[in-house]
Amino acid sequence: MPEHPTQYRHPYPNAELAAAHPFVPLRFERRPEAEMRASLEQFGSDLARRRSVRMLSSDPVPFELIDGAIAAASTAPSGAHMQPWTWVVTGDPAIKRRIREAAEEEERRNYLDQRMNAEWQEALAPLGTDHHKEFLEIAPWLVVLFEQRYGIRDDGTTRHHYYVKESCGIAAGFFIAAIHRAGLATLTHTPSPMAFLSRELGRPDNERPFVLFPIGYPMPGTLVPDLRRKDLDEVRVIVGERP
């Protein structure tokens, strides 16, 4: 067995840098292994019950639940910790209607004018989607995640953002999990193209729509596609010896 040091070097090579960027102790508690397994099992089986829902009801959802999910999502790791995202929330009926109309207009061209090719349409057949997007008007809340292609400092100068797509993808995953944990349902919706969302929601030029989440409760009697998820053996490979 190779010998490993039991101490890491301080992340900064000199006192000056360390003083400029102080570190704090990690809050972390090691738990008994049985507890770790049980808690992972519970988390996994809860996530396995999550489904993308298009039949959202109009039942009201407290705004605080939406805010809580955004706060959870914004804890996601991001390139150079820039948190290059803006979460735009609307429950305004007039805005939701305009978003639905604009999305349906684009989707009509995707589905009916063959902007999506035959292979694509075939791949979507099990989902039963078409150009109707009623849920955009019916769901009590729409949350649009915008990626910030670059940042803008208080003095107006721009600041580079790193790994923007990866960062927003991770944050979107956290958000979906948080919405599910809150007992709500959503859909990862990417009406394509999405530029109309910048217009409708009045976003600045450094932001681009990344994904749109309609949020609500599933309508009683909601149906979802009878999908099967890949088995672990289909998605995971083990390389080399196990420690």
Give residue for tokens 């009509």.
108
24 vs 227 by CB, closer to ligand IYR: 227
List, in sequence order, the alpha helices (H) in 139-206.
Answer: 164-181, 195-201
Closest to ligand IYR by CB, 146 vs 182, is: 146
The minimum distance between CB 127 and ligand IYR, in angstroms, equals: 6
Query: Would you say 189 and 214 are in contact if contact means Cβ atoms under 8 Å apart?
Result: yes
Residues within window 25-84 making contact with ligand IYR, judged by CB under 6 A: none
Report the residue closest to ligand IYR, judged by CB: 129
How many chain residues touch ligand IYR (CB under 6 A)? 9
Nearest in space to 160 (alpha carbons), one of 169, 150, 171:
150
Query: In terms of CB distance, is 133 or 161 closer to ligand IYR?
Result: 133
Phi/psi of residue 214, nearest 5 degrees:
-80, 140
Nearer to ligand IYR by Cβ, of 104 and 207: the residue is 104
Provide, rounded to whole angstroms, the least separation between the CB of residue 153 and ligand IYR. 35
> CB atoms < 10 A from the CB of 89, how many?
16
Of 88 and 212, which has the nearer Cβ to ligand IYR?
212
Tokens of 237: 């490979």
Which H/E stretch holds residue 87? strand 85-90
Give every CB contact of residue 132 below 8 A, 6+ residues apart in sequence. 104
Q: Which range, of 12-20, 135-143, 188-196, 231-239, touches ligand IYR by CB under 6 A?
A: 188-196
* 210, 145 Cβ separation under 8 angstroms: yes
| Contact (Cβ atoms closer than 8 angstroms) between residue 83 and residue 164 | no
String of contacts with ligand IYR for each residue 95-124, x by CB under 6 A: ------------x--x-------------x
Closest by Cα among 93, 90, 46, 44 to 70? 90
Site for ligand IYR in 197-226 (CB under 6 A): none
Residue 190 within binding range of ligand IYR, rule CB under 6 A: yes
Q: Looking at 23-31, 67-75, 91-99, 189-197, which segment touches ligand IYR (CB under 6 A)?
A: 189-197
Kindly tell me which residue out of 126, 192, 204, 225 binds ligand IYR, with binding defined by CB under 6 A: 192
Helix (H, G, I), strand (E, B) or coil at 106: helix
- Work out which of 74, 129, 198, 222 binds ligand IYR, going by CB under 6 A: 129
Least CB distance from residue 190 to ligand IYR, whole Å? 6
CA dist 228 → 49, 51, 126 (Å): 12, 11, 11
**Residue ranges binding ligand IYR (CB under 6 A):** 107, 110, 124, 127, 129, 189-192
